[in-house]
């Protein structure tokens, strides 16, 4: 009996309540991602000063661009309490479609690709919202379908951009402050999503769904169309990631650059303070989540850890960072 009572009091007083300064700027999960990124960066800077001096930050930013774009889309879907396991496959399919169509239709190609990937995302959303199926299982299924379409469309080989690739490639070659435009594209998307979530009825509705879907339904939030929108945004962001892949590599293949971005992108969204059960997201800190994910392999090499241990360190960092930044209380159920 006393145990239950003590648990109740703990629920009533949030654990982080004692730190008003942290709370004012949005809680630990708002600053955590930035602090962790800076901490890892400082360690790298001390151990290998040459790396930071020779444009290392620009390298991290440019390699994080596709991860960032996918993570932002994923964060929007996680925010409504769902998950999109197919977004990396949609992004790769987008890259393949872009490489195939850039020759024949030139300037129209990115538009077509973005429309197509947004539509793919919307189809996911429509099935999740209207057939009321679990998003994890549904997007696992559509992941398989998109993968197969990518394999068939590319004929199992690398598709090179035949002509008209200069405009897209310029996104990677040109940049602001030595950082390629592909990364700034991600930052721009993050800021737009932040405005959407913070200042619009649509964004507020999405967060409401993630916090408590039943309550959102009873408050006349248009839960179904907002879910479709969240998945469509994920498809749109995946299309942008496809463009970033082509800008960087000039080619796309079902097994090449971008084929294993699903888990790093989910990790980036989570390290960026997104709650996996929904209702908590900040696109601006997701930027730092993506940067951290890109930094970890570089940091392990800088610290002198064997290259073979990289994925071990990567796994441990994901668990550790999420354990550190998560908000939890004693009586909550974690699945």
Q: Are 253 and 160 in contact, with CB atoms under 8 Å apart?
A: no
Min separation Cβ 310 and another protein, Å: 7
- 12 or 333: CB nearest another protein: 333
Q: How far apart are CA 169 and CA 99, in angstroms?
A: 12
Q: How far, CA to CA in Å, does 48 sit from each of 53, 55, 56, 65, 288?
A: 9, 12, 10, 23, 21
Q: Using CB under 8 A, list all residues that contact another protein.
A: 4, 81-82, 127-128, 130-138, 140-145, 147-149, 151-152, 156, 213-214, 217, 263, 266-267, 270, 276-277, 306, 308-316, 318-319, 322-323, 326, 328, 332-335
- Contact between 282 and 269 under an 8 Å Cβ cutoff? The reply is no
Q: How far is the CB of 254 from another protein (least distance, A)?
A: 9
Give the phi and the psi of residue 259 in degrees, each rounded to 5: -80, -20
Nearer to another protein, 118 or 135 (CB): 135
The least distance separating another protein from the CB of residue 331, rounded to whole angstroms, comes to: 8
Q: Which is nearer to another protein, 184 or 314 (CB)?
A: 314
Q: How far is the CB of 77 from another protein (least distance, A)?
A: 12
Cβ-count burial of 243 within 10 angstroms (0-12 exposed, 13-18 middle, 19+ buried)? buried
Q: CB of residue 211 vs another protein: minimum separation in angstroms?
A: 12
Two structure tokens written together for 322: 């999420």
Exposure of 139 by Cβ count < 10 A (0-12 exposed, 13-18 middle, 19+ buried)? buried
Pairing verdict, β 179-180 and 251-252: unpaired
Which residue's CB is nearer to another protein, number 132 or number 174?
132
Give, in order, the Cα–Cα distances in Å from 106 to each of 118, 119, 127, 165, 245: 20, 21, 33, 8, 17
Q: Which is nearer to another protein, 64 or 135 (CB)?
A: 135
For 299-305, the CB contacts below 8 A with 24+ separation are: 299/40, 299/43, 299/44, 302/43, 302/44, 302/47, 302/48, 302/51, 303/43, 303/44, 303/47, 304/47
Smallest separation (angstroms) from another protein to the CB of 178 = 31
Is 21 or 132 the residue whose CB approaches another protein more closely?
A: 132
Least separation in angstroms between residue 215's CB and another protein is 10
> Could you tell me the smallest distance in angstroms from the CB atom of residue 277 to another protein?
7
Contacts of 297 (CB under 8 A, 6+ apart): 310, 314
Classified as helix, coil or strand, 183 is helix
Residue 109 or 154 with smaller CB distance to another protein? 154
Q: Measured from the CB atom, is 250 or 297 closer to another protein? A: 297
CA distance 201 to 192: 14
């Amino acid at each position: 009996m006393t145990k239950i009572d003590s648990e109740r009091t703990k629920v009533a007083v949030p654990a982080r309540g004692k730190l008003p300064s942290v709370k004012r700027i949005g809680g630990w999960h708002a600053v955590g991602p930035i602090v962790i990124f800076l901490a890892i960066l400082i360690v790298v800077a001390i151990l290998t000063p040459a790396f930071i001096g020779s444009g290392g930050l620009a390298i991290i930013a440019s390699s994080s661009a596709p991860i960032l774009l996918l993570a932002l889309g994923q964060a929007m879907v996680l925010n409504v309490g769902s998950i999109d396991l197919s977004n990396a496959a949609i992004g790769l399919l987008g890259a393949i479609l872009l490489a195939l169509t850039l020759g024949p239709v030139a300037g129209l190609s990115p538009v077509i690709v973005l429309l197509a990937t947004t539509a793919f995302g919307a189809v996911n959303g429509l099935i999740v919202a209207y057939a009321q199926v679990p998003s994890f299982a549904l997007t696992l299924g559509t992941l398989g379908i998109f993968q197969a379409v990518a394999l068939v469309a590319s004929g199992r080989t690398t598709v090179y951009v035949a002509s008209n690739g200069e405009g897209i490639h310029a996104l990677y070659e040109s940049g602001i402050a030595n950082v390629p435009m592909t990364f700034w594209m991600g930052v721009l998307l993050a800021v737009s999503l932040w405005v959407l979530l913070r200042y619009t009825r649509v964004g507020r509705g999405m967060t409401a769904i993630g916090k408590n879907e039943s309550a959102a339904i009873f408050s006349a939030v248009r839960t179904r169309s907002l879910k479709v929108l969240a998945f469509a945004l994920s498809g749109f962001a995946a299309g942008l990631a496809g463009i970033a892949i082509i800008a960087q590599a000039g080619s796309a293949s079902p097994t090449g650059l971008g084929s294993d971005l699903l888990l790093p992108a989910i990790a980036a969204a989570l390290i960026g303070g997104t709650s996996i059960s929904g209702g908590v997201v900040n696109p601006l800190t997701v930027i730092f989540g993506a940067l951290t994910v890109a930094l970890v392999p570089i940091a392990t090499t800088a610290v002198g850890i064997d290259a073979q241990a990289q994925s071990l360190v990567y796994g441990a960092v994901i668990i550790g960072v999420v354990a550190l930044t998560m908000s939890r209380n004693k009586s909550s159920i974690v699945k």
